[in-house]
Chain A
Amino acid sequence: MAIEFTLNGKRQSVDVVPQMPLLWVLRDTLGLTGTKFGCGMALCGACTVHINGQPTRSCTLPISMVAGKSVTTIEGLSADNTHPIQKAWIDVDVPQCGYCQSGQIMSAAALLAKKANPSDGDIDEAMRGNICRCGTYQEIREAIHRAAQYAKGGTR
């Protein structure tokens, strides 16, 4: 049975097993591979997307639960790397291997949408679900603070 939802602002319909996690629908069925598989148990955050604006682990979310909702993936964050989080990520040169960064960026973007000027404690709270094995945490923290400045129209 077809399941309908909004994906990066466009209507999307998929006909898959209802238990299939959103992650694999995005990656294997729809070919949106920016969202990553890391653990399959919502432990590492690599698969983070926004569901109705909320950061959500897509690896454990059955596609049936997404029906009628709005999904934003890393591909939908901006058309041209201009989201303040992406700009800050580029300016701080955050990624190393880069594999976890889609999830880091989606978590950070959700944090910034909720708190315009997050404290270090806010960053810890919002980002501790995202593992980076390369250890880019110091750069991630710096980039989130910087993105908060950009979002307010601050100087670079």
Chain B
Amino acid sequence: MNRRHFLKSTAVATGGLVLGFYLPDKLEAAVEPNNPGAKLNAWVHISPDDTVTLAIHKAEMGQGTVTSLAMLLAEELECDWNKIKTEFPGVDPEFGPVQGVVGSQSIRSSFDLLRKTGAAAREMLVSAAAQKWNVNVSDCRAENNAVVNTKTNARLSYGSLAEAASKLPVPAAPMMKDPSKFRIVGKPMKRRDTPMKVNGSAGFALDMKLPGMLYAVVARSAAFGGKITSFDATKAKAVPGVKNVVQISNGVAVVADNTWAAIEGRKALQLQVDDGPRGTTTSASIRKTFMDLAAKPGAVAHNEGNVEMAMAGAAKKIEAIYEAPYLAHSPMEPLNCTAHVTANSCDIWTGSQMQTAAQQAGMRITGLPADKVQIHTTFLGGGFGRRARVDFISEAIEVSKAVGVPVKLTWTREDDTQQDFYRPASYTTFAAGLDAQGWPVAWNARVVCPSFSGLRDGVDRTGVEGIPEVYEVPNMHVEYHPPDVGIPVSFWRSVGYSQNTFFTESFIDEMAAASGKDPLEFRRRLLAKQPRLLGVLNLAAEKIGWNTPPPAGRFRGIGLSPNVGSFEAQIAEISVNQGKVRVHRVVCAVDCGYTVNPATIVHQVRGGIVFGLTAALKGAITIDRGRVEQSNFNNYEMLRIDEMPVIDVYIVPSTQRVGGMGELSVPGTAPAVTNAIFKATGKRIRQLPIRLTNLA
């Protein structure tokens, strides 16, 4: 049985993960001549100088993967945290069928895998030491980058054992630590990438420079679905520094010897553009399409009990319509990619959340096989779902192929704002029937929200997620319509929850208000069968002191959600003065099961709340003539430091299976704020962003 076969059978037994261990015949190719040493498996490479290099097969976009994944490996490998190096490997099937960073999956999908990988490498090192000493492995112990002979106290460093270890069989079922023995995992660890992020040396894709490299920007149709029918490049080519103008499938690329010249050259392009069939689309026409659909039955996404009968027997009925706008991702690093295409190679330097798709784009455009298309992963200056798309990568590959030199293709902020794959807008109608005591007996929902992740029985689950699975209501019916209005849409941090949690948490608040009940007590009863949601809600309530009144002039509201395999509850404390909302404080409790790096959790939760608050207070992409009206941070605004609330984060201790974190805290913020606004003003916010004029 060869090694790969051996490990694949292991992998199947442990839940379908492909554990790609190192194959001996690839050793020479894998180890660079100036970096001798041995690769124990795809993740672990040990040099004779005792340096342990860990491959971070995900990507680092601020969520702390470089640190957290290294913690998992180092814990089981028993290596010296200070001797670890990390690197981003290329695309390799050994890392799994799809290499990417989406859905807050990095730790969830790696927790068992990387522990096992680290433990397997450790056992190989221990076996190598036992063979050298000619003792039993039970007489050896791994600690601090070395194997210790427990009888003689002799030590052999990992560096000295690596080569021998790499020739040993890979253990199928290595012994992993009991979590109570963890010395790294579960402890707040400093981020490994901070020192290089405070002096400008961290390598982002936009910082790439290759010999002979040129710089490109692309002119595209502003209207979605439109195209450039012809162009005159005479004036563009006259701009100093412009070297070339080439047509690619997405538009017209201006190639220059610096970025600014390319941008200036693009301004000088004369374009004939056909706006296409969506060229008259406006936000109002989109809204009308949504409203018309909302009047008709949709595909059934969820049905429990008999809503019609329960509604007929209800003592009280309430109805509401909720709306959320399109939103852009706006990572601070504008999209960019450097590509170098030759006759027999394609090298791509970029920050991608979907490296496998980036490689496939290279293969498709160049016709080269996978082993000739190398993805070099850099740090990502934010992703939030946008960098899971590879449109900008395809553009760079096309331009490099056309001009025959390395090309760095940069999107301006205007490109980024106007050519995004947006968080879809949604128009959702709700109706609820309450019994004589004010408890909900029926909940009817009809969601109109463009689809992007495929329909199954007419339903895109991302369109309705967050509506049916939270509160216990005996009769519930959810329908869904996927309108196609031509605006590109995709994953946006927390996906469907980003709008649906605002809707459901607001409507639950409406029910509580209609029943004259305290919104906390109302939720508690309806969450009786959701112990982990109840747990975070109770913790947040305790920490903010729900039963003690807030300071004069301040008001509180609640928002909560289960998402990415974890649970969050938030309570916001706000004031409203002369039509202006100020969010003073947010207390957030999370339950993400087993915690890997509590320090990262606190930072991710705060970041998610800022993301949610930015959307709640400011975010709206609007459409006119088939194109986006916003262009830059002057009209698509971000939350700034003077608007920042104090955010206190509490983690529910848990030994449950590890959950996601990067997206978790985005959804709860908007409803926590709008429910507090209701408390303050008696006005119910049913559309985002919050329009301050309605509160004067």
Partner-B contacts on A (CB < 8 A): 16-17, 20-21, 24, 27-29, 31-41, 43-44, 46, 73-75, 77-78, 81, 86, 89-90, 93-102, 105, 123-125, 127-141
Contacts and interface: CB of A to CB of B under 8 A. Distances in A.
B638 A99 contact: no
B210 to A, nearest CB: 12
B633 A133 contact: no
Nearest to B206: A37
Given A36-B333, A93-B603, A99-B332, A123 B260 contact: no
B350 to A, nearest CB: 14
A68 B379 CA distance: 35
A102 B500 CA distance: 36
Contact of B603 (A38, A131, A139): A139
Contacts of B194: 89-90, 93-95, 98
B647 interface: yes
Interface stretch (B47-55, B138-146, B196-204, B479-487): B196-204
B330 interface: yes
A124 to B, nearest CB: 4
Name the interface size band of chain B: 35 or more
B215 A28 contact: yes
Interface in B400-457: 410, 412-413
B199 A133 contact: no
B62 A90 contact: no
B184 to A, nearest CB: 16
B258 A28 contact: yes
B198 A97 contact: no
19 contacts: A27-B259, A28-B215, A33-B200, A40-B632, A81-B195, A97-B62, A97-B381, A97-B383, A98-B62, A98-B193, A99-B381, A100-B381, A132-B610, A133-B332, A133-B384, A135-B610, A135-B611, A138-B647, A139-B606
A37 to B, nearest CB: 7
Interface string B377-401: 0011111100000000000000000
Nearest to A135: B610
Contact of B332 (A28, A44, A77, A137): A44
Contacts of A123: 641
B240 A34 contact: no
Contacts of A73: 200
B217 to A, nearest CB: 11
A124 B641 CA distance: 6
B107 to A, nearest CB: 15
Contact of A89 (B62, B198, B258, B412): B198
A96 B204 contact: no
Contact of A33 (B206, B410, B647): B206
Given A41-B413, A138-B644, 9 more contacts: A21-B260, A37-B410, A38-B333, A98-B193, A100-B381, A102-B200, A123-B641, A129-B640, A130-B640
Interface string B242-279: 00000000000000001111010000000000000000
A37 B638 contact: no
B333 A17 contact: no
Contacts of A29: 258
Contact of B632 (A17, A39, A124, A138): A39
A16 B193 CA distance: 34
Contact of A34 (B64, B201, B606, B609): B201
State the 10 A-B residue pairs at the shortest beta-carbon distance, nearest first. Answer: A34-B200, A135-B610, A99-B381, A96-B62, A97-B62, A98-B197, A33-B207, A124-B642, A74-B200, A28-B258
Interface string B188-228: 00110111111111101011010000010000000000000
B642 A128 contact: yes
A102 B202 CA distance: 10
A130 B383 CA distance: 19
* Interface of A, helix, strand, loop or mixed by DSSP: loop
Contacts of A131: 332, 633, 638, 640
B380 A97 contact: yes
Contacts of B241: 17
A135 B194 CA distance: 16
Contacts of A99: 204, 331-333, 379, 381-382
B634 interface: yes
A138 B260 contact: no
B563 interface: no
A75 B332 contact: no
Contact of A90 (B64, B198, B382, B610): B198
Contact of A93 (B60, B599, B632): B599
Contacts of B201: 34
Given A20-B260, A86-B199, A99-B204, A134 B190 contact: no
Interface string B628-650: 00001110001111101011000
B199 A97 contact: no
Contacts of A46: 332
A16 B607 CA distance: 40
Given A73-B200, A75-B200, A97-B61, A128 B641 contact: yes
Contact of A133 (B193, B330, B606, B632): B330
Contacts of B646: 138
A43 B413 CA distance: 11
A44 B60 CA distance: 22
Contacts of A78: 199
B334 interface: yes
A27 B260 CA distance: 10
B412 A24 contact: no
Contacts of A100: 332, 381
Given A46-B332, A81-B198, A97 B638 contact: no
B674 interface: no
Contacts of A81: 195, 198-199
Given A20-B258, A34-B200, A97 B215 contact: no
B240 A17 contact: yes
Contact of A98 (B240, B334, B379, B413): B379
B204, B260, B383, B644 pick with most chain A CB within 10 angstroms: B260
Contacts of B611: 133, 135
B258 A41 contact: no
B149 interface: no
B198 A105 contact: yes
B334 A96 contact: no
B506 interface: no
B193 A95 contact: yes
A149 to B, nearest CB: 17
B104 interface: no
Given A86-B198, A96-B63, A39 B413 contact: yes
A29 B197 CA distance: 22
Contacts of A16: 258
Given A21-B260, A37-B206, A97-B333, A43 B240 contact: no
Contacts of A95: 62, 191, 193-194, 197-198
Contacts of B206: 33, 36-37
A108 B259 CA distance: 28
A50 to B, nearest CB: 14
Contacts of A35: 200
Given A37-B259, A90-B194, A96-B63, A128 B332 contact: no
